[in-house]
């Protein structure tokens, strides 16, 4: 466990941070002592409850039974960002329905996304930005949606960058020639197969599979040309054949494509 812990207390739109030794906040009553020192007048003679956000982003009651999980969650988040563990403690006064319970969850999600996307130079600044947005009454759910969309775009771009070119995809699908076990044993056998992925709008890509057994280089080239034409990469069979011939030239076999 870290030798230092940052307690971040929230009451309405007021926020206060205090750095403590983790051993000084092992019970809910120890946390309450800090809280009542921060807001002595507001909480005098008032019933209130404490909450924290767990690893799945849900608001949970913070008491003596759950404080171990709360501290553990803060430690895990700190490992990901490389910062001092921060435990957000939300103070809810009984009978006060003014605060929107979704705001703390959205704020924590926004902080995590800012760090994941490396949009801030330091996790502390990410937390400061989110705190400022919350304090000024910004729509945190909308902010989270914007960050999530950016994250999704980055993931799609990474997949596109890793996707091999058309020539690589076609060439890599040729298996080594195998002898035919049925009929003429001296006649080489090859299996040609391709996959085509088509993205329609924002939905999942549609994958078409093409597979054909061939026994010669000529048939392999014809199969490839057929695939190019059926997939819409070229407009007619002749163009497809010309493209295949330009791609592979006068090779005597396709055994190099495995």
Residue 257, in any domain of the structure: no
The confidence score (pLDDT) of residue 205 equals 53
Q: Tell whether the model's pLDDT for residue 33 goes beyond 70.
A: yes
The confidence score (pLDDT) of residue 30 equals 93
Q: Tell whether the model's pLDDT for residue 237 goes beyond 70.
A: yes
Interhelix angle 67-81/102-116, nearest 10 degrees: 30
Q: Are 131 and 198 contained in the same domain?
A: no
Q: Are 52 and 133 contained in the same domain?
A: yes
Residue 29, in any domain of the structure: yes
Residue 258, in any domain of the structure: no
Q: Are 9 and 102 contained in the same domain?
A: yes
Residue 230, in any domain of the structure: yes
Count of domains in the chain? Answer: 2
Q: Are 100 and 183 contained in the same domain?
A: no
| pLDDT tens sequence across 96-132 | 654 455 677 777 788 888 888 888 777 777 777 887 7
Q: Are 137 and 21 contained in the same domain?
A: yes
| pLDDT tens sequence across 140-183 | 788 888 888 888 888 888 777 776 555 556 555 554 455 555 55
Q: What is the mean pLDDT of the chain?
A: 75
Q: Are 170 and 226 contained in the same domain?
A: yes
The confidence score (pLDDT) of residue 35 equals 92
- Better-predicted residue by pLDDT, 234 or 257: 234
Q: Which of 24, 45, 27 is nearest to 36 (CA)?
A: 45
What predicted TM-score, i.e. pTM, was given to this entire model?
A: 0.46
Q: Long-range contacts of range 230-235, CB-CB < 8 Å, 24 or more positions apart?
A: 231/194, 231/196, 233/166
Range of the domain at 118: 5-151
What does the alpha-carbon distance between residue 203 and residue 11 come to, in Å, rounded to a whole number?
Answer: 42
Q: Are 11 and 138 contained in the same domain?
A: yes
- Asked if residue 90 lies in contact with residue 104, where contact means CB atoms within 8 angstroms, the answer is yes
Q: Are 130 and 217 contained in the same domain?
A: no
What does the alpha-carbon distance between residue 252 and residue 240 come to, in Å, rounded to a whole number?
Answer: 19
Distances 27 to 18, 94, 96, 203 between C-alpha atoms, Å? 16, 21, 25, 48
| pLDDT tens sequence across 184-194 | 545 555 555 55
Q: Are 147 and 208 contained in the same domain?
A: no
């Amino acid at each position: 466990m870290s030798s230092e812990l940052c307690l971040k207390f929230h009451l309405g739109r007021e926020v206060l941070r205090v750095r403590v030794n983790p051993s000084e906040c092992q019970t809910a009553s120890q946390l309450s002592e800090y809280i009542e020192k921060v807001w002595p007048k507001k909480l005098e003679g008032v019933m209130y409850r404490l909450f924290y956000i767990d690893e799945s982003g849900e608001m949970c009651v913070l008491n003596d039974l759950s404080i171990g999980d709360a501290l553990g969650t803060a430690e895990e988040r700190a490992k990901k960002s490389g910062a001092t563990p921060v435990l957000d403690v939300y103070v809810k006064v009984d009978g006060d329905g003014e605060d929107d319970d979704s705001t703390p969850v959205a704020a924590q999600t926004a902080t995590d996304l800012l760090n994941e996307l490396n949009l801030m130079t330091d996790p502390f600044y990410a937390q400061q930005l989110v705190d400022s947005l919350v304090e000024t009454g910004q729509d945190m759910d909308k902010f989270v949606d914007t960050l999530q969309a950016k994250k999704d775009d980055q993931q799609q771009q990474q997949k596109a960058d890793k996707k091999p070119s058309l020539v690589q995809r076609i060439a890599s699908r040729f298996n080594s020639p195998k002898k035919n076990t049925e009929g003429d044993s001296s006649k080489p056998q090859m299996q040609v197969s391709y996959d085509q992925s088509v993205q329609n709008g924002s939905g999942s890509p549609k994958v078409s599979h093409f597979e054909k057994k061939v026994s010669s280089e000529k048939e392999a080239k014809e199969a490839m040309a057929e695939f190019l034409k059926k997939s819409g990469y070229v407009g007619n069979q002749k163009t497809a054949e010309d493209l295949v011939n330009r791609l592979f030239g006068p090779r005597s076999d396709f055994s190099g494509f495995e």
